[in-house]
Copies of this chain bind each other. A is one copy, B any other.
Amino acid sequence: QVSSDRLMGMLADLGQRGALEGGGVCRLALSDTDKAGRDWLVATMRDLGMTVSIDAIGNIWGLRKGRRDGAPIMMGSHIDTVATGGLYDGALGVLSGLEVIAALNAAGAETDLPVAVGAFTNEEGARFAPDMMGSGVYCGALDRDEMLAVRATDGDGVVGEELDRIGYRGSDAPVIPAAYLELHIEQGPVLEQDGLQVGAVTGVQGIHWTEFTVTGQSNHAGTTPMALRRDAGQVAARIALAADAIAADYGPPQVATVGVFELTPGLVNVVPQQARLTVDLRNTDGEVLERATARLIAEAEAAAEAAGCSLTHRPLARFAPVVFDDTLVGKVEAAAQARQLSVKRMPSGAGHDAQMFAPLCPTAMIFIPSENGLSHNINEHSDEGDIMAGAQVLLDLVCDLAGA
């Protein structure tokens, strides 16, 4: 049995690391608050009797021995957050994993296979792109040295240097699990709207992040006739609307988001010389997503050319859609039903560490509802009853898979 005192207590404890006035947390990857969260996590893992490992990209995982050696059943997620994040995104997956360990400990239960809990570096991609960076390196989908050299999207810091700075560049070799399970808040409105308690996640939609840099010419806002301008900001605004139009034209599940939009020099009376913006496009259909990205880039190029500006673009993330193991997804459904919880199969709108494990081992995810579908927002909230239901399903699955 999972304990709500223990799990809710851990969520509150970790939530103090990087807590924002007014609620929510800011634990951007490899920041001082991320370090504080990591320190707390490592100490908590040790308190639970786990052996802690850290790899070259700062992924942390704790291992609880099984009756026999071999590949563990791994639970996991991330403890980094966006700048205005909530208490549950990522943290729930890691801490419910610790709760499973604590419950096994409390019951004096042995498992056949070892059981592991992982916390993967920079899942959010908020400070460094791409997202799922740590799990991508762990699973071999992203190149370690390339990732260590990534500079922050805002220019401030490099992954490898920041790992050294906070003391989390380890040297342990990743352990590929026998199966991977991740409990996560849905972060969207579907479960709440359908009045369901659990989602058995069938896969993750494709994610394309593209950064555009438009270069025009700075000039005087009062003296420069419109016809003589090379206004990088106007081009960027057109790219932003083009992204929105693509989502409208393609219809659901296509989504498009312009999250970063910066002008240089950024002064009231100066025609902008440079603009930098990012576009996040997602679709469950990988081919449609490829077409959407190609159309966006073509429209961006046309907008720049029409305005006499030059354009560069680079992919910050390119993840194809991922399908989870059908048998394991079925076990999630069955485990929920066995606890009299309402459940449905559904795709994930957000990217998750689980998607990096999917090609390597049977992988599945458990979703619980998000109040008002809010996430990446300080008011992100999930009901305690839903949290405990999700953790119980996770415990039941681990007992099944690890042989308790």
Interface residues of A (CB under 8 A from B): 82-84, 124-126, 129, 131, 153-154, 186-189, 205, 207, 209, 217-228, 231, 233-234, 236-238, 240-241, 244, 247-248, 252-253, 255-263, 265-273, 275, 278, 280, 282, 316, 348-351, 373-377
Contacts and interface: CB of A to CB of B under 8 A. Distances in A.
A131 B221 CA distance: 12
B268 A280 contact: yes
Given A125-B268, A268-B280, A226 B241 contact: no
Contacts of A266: 83, 154, 259-262
Contacts of A186: 223
B375 A220 contact: yes
B228 A373 contact: yes
24 contacts: A82-B270, A84-B265, A84-B270, A84-B273, A125-B268, A126-B268, A129-B268, A154-B266, A187-B220, A189-B228, A219-B374, A220-B375, A221-B282, A222-B282, A222-B350, A223-B373, A225-B255, A234-B240, A234-B241, A237-B237, A241-B241, A257-B268, A259-B266, A262-B262
B263 A263 contact: no
A260 B268 contact: yes
Contacts of A226: 244, 247-248, 252, 255-256
A209 B373 contact: no
Nearest to A154: B266
A297 to B, nearest CB: 17
A261 B261 contact: yes
Contacts of A272: 258-259, 261
Contacts of A238: 241
Contacts of A350: 220, 222-223
B233 A377 contact: no
A53 to B, nearest CB: 28
**Most chain B beta-carbon neighbours within 10 Å: one of A82, A222, A226:** A222
Given A187-B220, A219-B377, A316 B225 contact: no
Contacts of A375: 219-220, 223
Contacts of A316: 268
Given A225-B252, A269-B376, 15 more contacts: A82-B270, A83-B266, A125-B268, A126-B269, A220-B349, A220-B376, A224-B373, A226-B247, A234-B241, A234-B244, A257-B269, A259-B271, A268-B280, A268-B316, A273-B377
B255 A224 contact: yes
Contacts of A224: 188-189, 255, 349, 373
Given A205-B222, A226-B247, A241-B238, A261 B263 contact: yes
